[in-house]
Structure 1
Amino acid sequence: MESRQYTEDIDLKKYWLILRRRWLPSGLVFVLVVTLATAAALIKKPNYEAAGRLLFKKKNTTSSLVTEAGEKIGQLDTLNMMNTPVDTEAQVLLSMPIIQKTIESLNLKDAQGKFIPPAAFLVGVGVKPIKGTDVLQVTYKSRDPKQAADAVNQLMNAYVEMNILTNRAEAAAAREFIAKELPKVLATVRQAEAALRKYREQNNIVALQQEAIMAVDAITGIDRQLTTAQAQLADATARASEIQKKINLTSQQAVNLSSASQSTGVQQTLEELQKVEAQLTLERTRFQETHPLIIDLVDKRNSLKALLQQRVGETLGKDVPVSNGNLQLGDVKQKLTEDLVTTEAERLGLLNQVTSLSRARTAYQQRASVIPKLQQGEKDLERQVEAAQASYQILLKNYQEVQIAENQNVGNARVIEYASIPGMPADDKRKLIIAAGIVAGAMLYVVTAFLFDLADPSLKTAKEVREIFKYTVLGMIPSFKKKMRFRFGKHDPIVPPLPVQDSPHSIISETYRMLQANLKFLSPDRPLKVIVVTSSVSKEGKSTVSANLATAMAQLGRRVLLIDGDLHHPIQHHIWDLTNVAGLSDVIVGQADVKMAVKSVMDNLDVLPSGVIPPNPLALLDSQRMTSLIADFSTDYNFVIIDTPPLVLVPDALSLGKLSDGVLVVVRPGVLDAVSAAAAKSFLVQSGQNILGLVVNGVIIENEPDSYFHHARAYYQESTTSKVPASRSENVSSRS
């Protein structure tokens, strides 16, 4: 039953092995990235943050304590119930005029000597309300701690100053409005008082109550006619009074003003006078009365007033005093003036009628008949005077209060905490940069490892080798990490190791013994005698496997012959430190005797070197002489091991494979690539070779998580340190 494989687990192991295999280039990339991040963190200057606080008041409490009008000026309010006035003031604080003024006050300039743009300054500014309070926190970040504190303080001061100027501007606007209204209301008061005085003079009113008591007994006669006339007179009087309330003019004034308002000369002079008075009012806020400009404006105003009065007299044909505010009449007021004239004429007619009736009744009733009418007229005029005086008093009081509020340097905000120079950085990101460098380095480590692994076409693990060849694995030889022997010479190659001979109790030695045991059990009925050892490509360790396998067999007491069948690049004579004067090629062509060519290298082990390298090795190996030699060797020896060239390079191994009992294929992960492995297997299948199995050479234990070497290494380490006698251990050390 085949074991069930889980792709997820296999992939995770594969990825982990890739990261371990490519640790050197990936580690260099990781170290480089972390080093650059650390250098950037050390170079980066930290930012310092300074903070200050502003307190806001919904009402200007100082102004409200002094005046009632000042209570409304500068009052904080909001149109949206979802927001607070503090949110609005936060945006005001970040407005361009305040930011620009702060930049200029701090003299913040760029490399070209120009003031930095407001957007660059706003990057470091932070404004946020403190929840549950009317306090606004202002912050600024800068690499210079002093600049951070100065920026916050200057920003808050600029806002407070602008807030005071705004409140004063509101008070000034209110003052100007009241100043314009006061003359009009005062004129109305004077008109009402004049009307009352005139009424009393015209009717000889001194004490109407006493006169009424004396004349009550004399009232008789034409009450119905007089009552009707009085009612009509009252109606006309009421209408005239209503119109007078609207235009604040008597009938005579209405006639005069109607004529004056239609005069072009009067209107032009009046406009120039108003401009001079407005300029004079403005300049008095800046200069004293003795200033030449003020004196010149006063003279100009007096001249214009005289000219205006002259032109009014010329228009009306007499010297009539007219208020400047009434010289300009609109269409509505002009219509009301005409109505007043008509109504007044009607009222005077009725008054004459009543007077006539009164004279008629005077004969009978004396003066008593006119007393109730006089009382009513007097009361009406008195009420008009009282109303006009009340309005004037209110405006005058508000005017004085607004003047006081305007002169106060009080706003709705005050600084409750100035920013101090910060001593510690606010956002030291050096640790964060280093951490980011570590994370980026780790990611690049992974990327680098996978890129290097993708660029390397070789097979990495024994598992990949098995999946391509699908042959039985007879042995797995761990990587030999001890120093190898060197032959010094012009073309002498590195000599492969002999751990079976030099370190008989090592893991590698035991793997070779396991290999020869597996070969023995492959064919229990017909034992193997002639074995061809080959590989797909060069440098897979076929010669090393051949030599160590022959040594392992010889140590078991079996007679073994090791033949160097690689007539292209022989190596066995280097491994055994033999001369290659006479060997296999010489024996085949009859130039050397077999017994002279075969050399004994240890008990039960003989080696036949390759001999002189011929021009056409395949012709010798595929000859009848070679076939007879193999037959003779299989009779004289228990095992004959032939070291042959790689499969994909020359056909020698395939030719010798037909003369043997089987072919043992050596593969080495990290050297063999998938294309060469597939080609080698194709050659073996097409030639019909008897494949004994695979020997996986140079296995890196750390790259084989599913191998048994992890436990075997611990076992042999324990056995060599605790169970091997001291004398034997010394012997092994001397041999290796």
Structure 2
Amino acid sequence: MAMEALPQFEEVNIQKYLEVIQRRWLPLVGIFSIAVTFGCLYAFSLKPSYKAEGSLMIKTNRSSSLTGLPDDIGRLEALNINDNPLETQVRVIGSNPVIDRTINTLSLKDNKGKTLSIPDLASQLKIEGIKGTDVVQISYKSSDPKLAAKIVNEVIKSYIDLNIQANQDEARTAKGVLVTEVPKAEEVVRRAESKLRVFKEQNKVIVLQQEATAAVDTISKLGNQISQAQAQLDDVKGRLQQLGSEAQLDSRQGVIASDLSQAPGVQKVLIQLQETESQLAIERTRFSPEHPTITSLEEKVVALKNLLKERTGQVAGTAQITQGSLQLGQLRQSLIADITRAQAERVGLERQIATLLRQQDAYIKRANNLPRLEQTQRELERKLQAAQTTYETLLKKRQEIDIAQNQKIPNARVISLALVPAKAEGPRKILFIVGGGAVGLFLGIIVAFSLDLIDRSVKTVKEAKEVLKYTVLGVIPTQSKNPKTHSSIAGIDRPIPKIIGRDIPYFPLGNAYQILQVNLKFLCSDKPLKSVVITSSVGKEGKSDVSANLAVTMAQAGRRVLLVDADMRNPIQHHIWGLNNTVGLSNVIVGQVSLDAVVQEVMPNLEVLTSGILPPNPVALLDSQRMATLISNFSKDYDLVIFDTPPLSGIADAAVLSTLTDGILLVVRPGVVDLNSANSAKEFLNQSGQKVLGIVINGVNIKNESNNYLPESKKRQIEEDLVSSSLTKFTKDH
């Protein structure tokens, strides 16, 4: 159910907007026409214009700068290149310097003869980048085709010249920076080279990688040599131990004995000592101990021993040497020689091992220090390489800048210059006309809705039902606006109502009154409706029209009807029927004439009682006993009495009269009664306790109420059925 209700709600809203437009079509059409007219006038007042076009290709394929230096030295902006997007160059082409140079070069003037301003030229100049390409298109519109082409070409030339100048200025600026930075970079290189050289000299570094490899090999070789020498030393020590046991000498004694046996001075003294001792032994056999020869020989032996001791001390030192050890045999001497050689070999091997160990320790210490030296060397080399790279880059950039400074290569290339247009392009008059129409339609709709919001009148049947909240007994369509169907009489400020079937065609008003008649009959089915007061909230809502035509409809249905013009302030019924109003209701109430004398039959079953002379106080007459008696008599003579009364706005006539009748029928005309008046009328009726039968909505534009009512063919069928049913029921009742 909710899904079905939503489209209906939206449809009602759309219809509501359409109804507003239908009601306010006149101001909408007026504003639309004015806007279209102004659009046409403006379009036809414009002069034909010529459009000249030229195009440039922006070079954006380079990405390196001429001075790409690290931040610690100083970084320069890119020169003679363009890394900016295409949109940026569009703005550069349309910048003030380019426009100003174009104006000055061509001496452009405005209509007053003054130099053309930059904004005026820029507003007519169109610069746009073609998406997906590096192409910028430049166009200019002017009434002078030659001038349009000149301006486009001069803009292109000015942009290229200024671009070249900007590149050269950037090159000069960069060169000034590099002139200062190159010596600094060269000094950094020298300092780095000096630090590396000092490091190598202090640490005796040639090629650390090769030195590390050689140190490992040398340490390995020294280890092998130490192992071999240690093995040889162990062998020599074993031989020494064996030789010492055979010669019964330790190694030191064997060496000393060998030295003494080979010392000439010691052996000579030893021989003399041995000869003297031998001679002493012989002489002792011949002489007595006190003999001078014995004494002389003994003294000689003592002297030779002292001499021998002195000479052996020179060779053996403090070692104890026996005399027997001074003379060795050939075998013993050979053993002692072997011991001496082995001892010498041992000493040599021990010295060799000590030397090798010292060399190995030195190489190990050097090898352990190589990683630190290598790290320091790499750092120094990196600094040197960075300084050299920076220095070489600066030198290279300086050369490039020297070249760029002398070159006149822009960042753009002309694809096509503007040609003098041979055909006028515009203006497109239809666009201004359509635009004017669109603006007019928009403003017209705004004005229409604004007027509708300001207008406080009841505009539709739906609003009337929502405001008054009474039963709608009939909806009377609006009459044709043909002037022939409206007539007026001198002194009356409103048109005279027309009678259906007599003054105007029966359809569609006749069917509407037939429905109203049937609804009234069915409204009081238990008790026949004998009298009804017809009034409205304000004037000009058509209460007299409804009164007259309802009376005609009732009479045509066969009921005897009396139409009483109880509006003794602005009576109109005598004009509708063409009757004399010299006497009437007021005269009957005061008793001047009889009722039969003033009631006039205007058509079969329909009689009319005019208002008569207008009294000064109509309420007093209507609220009199005489009026009550008249109404009582009317109900005896007529099937239905219809009272046409004044509006409710500030007048109590209808309220007073309704207390004597069966109820009030309130006529409402959309577009005439406003919300305040409708609310006031409703409040008055409720407070006074009036019996309101229902409302009749008069003057309804059926086209504006299409969503509230059935299609026309269906309405006709219902109306015919209601009329047929009413006539049949009326025939049976009578």
* TM tier relative to shorter chain: 0.5 to 0.7
- Contact 1:484–1:495 (8 Å) recurs in 2: no
Q: Is the counterpart of residue 436 in structure 1 residue 435 in structure 2?
A: yes
2:52 to 39, 50, 53: 50
Q: CA deviation at 1:94?
A: 6.5
| Conserved 8 A contact 2:108-2:116 | yes
Aligned-residue offset at 1:142: 3.4
CA contact (8 A) 1:507 1:713 kept: no
Hey, what does 2:27 align to over in structure 1?
A: 25
Q: Which amino acid aligns with 1:535?
A: S
CA contact (8 A) 2:52 2:418 kept: yes
- The CA deviation at 1:11 is 3.4
Q: Does residue 109 of the first structure (1) align with residue 80 of the second (2)? A: no
Change (3 A) 1:118 1:24: closer
* C-alpha distance after superposition, 1:678-704 (max 9, x if no partner): 221222222222221111111111221
Contact 2:82 2:411 in 1 (8 A): no
Q: Residue 563 of structure 1: SS of its match in structure 2?
A: strand
Shift of 1:610: 0.8
Structure 1 residue matching 2:650: 3-state secondary structure: coil
Amino acid at match of 1:476: V
Is this contact kept in 2: 1:701–1:709, CA < 8 A? no
In 2 relative to 1, CA 470–114 (structure 1 residues): closer, same or farther, beyond 3 Å?
closer
Name 1:464's counterpart in structure 2. Answer: 463
Shift of 1:45: 4.1
1:474-493 mapped onto 2 (5 Å cutoff): 474-481=473-480, 482=482, 483-491=484-492, 493=494
Structure 2: which amino acid aligns with 1:470? K
Change (3 A) 1:610 1:423: same
After alignment, is 9-18 or 48-57 more displaced? 48-57
Closer/same/farther in 2, CA of residues 667 and 79 from structure 1, 3 Å limit: same
Instruction: Tell me if the contact between 2:531 and 2:663 (Cα under 8 Å) persists in the aligned partners.
Output: yes
Q: CA deviation at 1:570?
A: 0.9
| Aligned position for 1:181 | none
Give CA-to-partner distance per residue, 1:102-156, whole Å, 9 cap, x none. 3333221235644334454444455667789887655444343211111233344
Structure-2 separation of matches of 1:455 and 1:134: 57
Deviation at 1:501, TM superposition (A): 4.0
Q: Deviations over 1:440-479 (max 9, x none)?
A: 2222112111121122211001111111221111111111
Higher mean alpha-carbon deviation, 417-426 vs 629-638, is at 417-426
Q: 1:558 to 1:127 in 2, by over 3 A?
A: closer
Q: Are 2:34 and 1:35 equivalent residues in the alignment?
A: no
Please give the alpha-carbon distance, in whole angstroms, between the structure 1 residues aligned to 2:604 and 2:472. 29
User: In the superposition, relative to structure 1, how do residues 505 and 101 fare at CA in structure 2: closer, same or farther (>3 Å)?
Assistant: closer
In the superposition, relative to structure 1, how do residues 163 and 674 fare at CA in structure 2: closer, same or farther (>3 Å)? closer
Does residue 11 of the first structure (1) align with residue 13 of the second (2)?
yes
Q: TM-score, normalised by structure 2?
A: 0.56
In the TM superposition, residue 572 of structure 1 has moved relative to its aligned partner by 0.8
How far apart, in 2, do the equivalents of 1:165 and 1:683 lie? 90
Q: Is the 8 A contact 1:583 1:608 kept in 2?
A: yes
In 2: Cα distance, 1:559 partner to 1:567 partner? 24
- Between stretches 632-641 and 95-104, larger displacement belongs to 95-104
For the structure 1 residues 531 and 106, does the alpha-carbon distance in structure 2 shift closer, same or farther, using more than 3 Å as the test? same
Letter in 2 for 1:460: K
- Aligned letter for 2:552? T
Q: How does 1:602-681 map to 2 (within 5 A)?
A: 602-681=603-682
Please give the per-residue CA displacement for 1:582-641, whole angstroms capped at 9, x wherever unaligned.
111111111112111010111111111111111111111111111111111111111111
TM (norm. structure 1) is 0.56
Change (3 A) 1:460 1:170: closer
Provide, for residues 162-221 of structure 1, a one-character-per-residue CA deviation record: whole Å limited to 9, x for no partner.
Answer: 789999999999xxxxxxxxxxxxxxxxxxxxxxxxxxxxxxxxxxxxxxxxxxxxxxxx
Query: What is the match of residue 571 of structure 1?
Result: 572
Tell me if the contact between 1:46 and 1:429 (Cα under 8 Å) persists in the aligned partners: no
Maintained 8 Å contact 2:15/2:707: no
Q: CA deviation at 1:577?
A: 0.3
- State how far apart, in whole Å, the 1-side matches of 2:153 and 2:712 are: 73
1:503–1:509 contact (8 Å) kept in structure 2: no
Partners in 2 of 1:649 and 1:433 — Cα distance?
Answer: 55
State the 1:99 CA deviation. 4.8
Q: In the aligned structure 1, how far is the partner of 2:94 from the partner of 2:493? A: 83
Aligned length: 472
Pairs within 5 Å for 1:497-576: 497-503=498-504, 505-576=506-577
Deviates more, 1:110-119 or 1:505-514: 110-119
Aligned counterparts of 2:88 and 2:683: Cα–Cα separation in 1: 84
CA apart distance, 1:518: 1.3
Structure 2: segments with no counterpart, 5+ residues: 62-77, 174-398, 721-734
Structure 1 residue 560: deviation in Å?
Answer: 1.1
Q: Secondary structure at the match of 1:510?
A: helix
Q: C-alpha deviations, 1:52-89, integer Å up to 9, x for none?
A: 35679999xxxxxxxxxxxxxxxxx86878459x9999
Deviation at 1:553, TM superposition (A): 1.1
| Aligned residue type for 2:556 | Q
- The one-character-per-residue Cα deviations of 1:414-448 (angstroms, maximum 9, x if unpaired) are 76643211234567454443333233222211211
Cα gap change, 1:417 to 1:617, in 2 (>3 Å): closer
Q: Aligned AA for 1:423?
A: A
Tell me the residue number matched to 2:386. none
Output the CA distance in 1 between the equivalents of 2:59 and 2:453. Answer: 70
Indicate if the aligned counterparts of 2:79 and 2:170 stay in contact, CA closer than 8 A: no
8 Å Cα contact 1:533/1:546 also seen in 2: yes
Mapping 1:70-85, distance limit 5 Å: 82-83=83-84
Matched residue SS, 1:553? helix
Cα distance change on mapping 1:15 and 1:473 into 2, 3 Å: same
Q: Residues of 1 paired with 2:685 and 2:129: CA distance? A: 84
Give the SS at the match of 1:460: coil
| Cα distance in 1 for residues equivalent to 2:666 and 2:550 | 13
Q: Look up the SS of the partner of 2:667 in the other structure.
A: strand
Q: List gaps (5 residues or longer) in structure 1.
A: 60-76, 174-397, 720-736
5 Å-filtered alignment, 1:230-269, equals none
> Taking structure 1 as reference, are residues 111 and 462 closer, same or farther at Cα in structure 2, changes over 3 Å only?
closer
Q: Residues 116, 538 of structure 1: CA spacing in aligned structure 2 closer, same or farther, 3 A cutoff?
A: closer
Q: Secondary structure at the match of 1:682?
A: helix
The answer on whether the counterparts of 1:537 and 1:649 sit within 8 Å (CA) in structure 2 is no
- Partners of 2:570 and 2:496 in 1: CA distance: 13
Match of 2:599 in 1: 598
Structure of greater Rg: 2
Q: Deviations over 1:357-388 (max 9, x none)?
A: xxxxxxxxxxxxxxxxxxxxxxxxxxxxxxxx
Do the aligned partners of 2:600 and 2:608 also contact (CA within 8 Å) in 1? yes
SS at match of 1:695: strand
Q: Percent identity?
A: 47
CA shift at 1:508, angstroms?
Answer: 0.6
Matched position secondary structure for 1:499: coil
> Aligned letter for 1:478?
P
How far apart are residue 676 of structure 1 and its match?
Answer: 1.3
SS of structure 1 residue aligned to 2:485: coil
2:153 corresponds in structure 1 to 153
Cα separation, 2, equivalents of 1:58 and 1:679:
80
Shift of 1:494: 2.5
- Give, as a single letter, the amino acid of the residue that structure 2 aligns with 1:528: L
C-alpha separation in 1, matches of 2:522 and 2:411:
103
**Paired letter, 1:471:** Y
| Cα displacement string for residues 298-330 of structure 1 (whole angstroms, at most 9, x for unaligned residues) | xxxxxxxxxxxxxxxxxxxxxxxxxxxxxxxxx
